[in-house]
Amino acid sequence: MAEPRDQFLARAAENRRRAVELREQGLKYREIAEEMGVTTGTVGKLLHDARKYSVSS
């Protein structure tokens, strides 16, 4: 069963916020990916979406 939409959106927002926070700490995409357990492509997408949605830490 899929998770409810509001839970998905909250989790997605938290992932964007975390990626931005790590990037602001000076981590490289690879380091962020390792920390979050995702690919570097996902990190790029998270940071892109964070800019799109004006997310800041």
Confidence (pLDDT) at 56: 57
Domain boundaries, the chain: 5-52
- The tens digit of pLDDT for each residue in 1-57 reads 889 999 999 999 999 999 999 999 999 999 999 999 999 999 999 999 999 987 555
Confidence (pLDDT) at 57: 53
* 13-51 CB burial, b ≥16 within 10 A, e <16: eebbebbbebbeeebebeebbeeeeeeeebbeebbebbe
Whether 17 and 50 have beta carbons less than 8 Å apart is answered as yes
Confidence (pLDDT) at 44: 98
Residues 6+ away with beta carbon under 8 Å from 18: 36
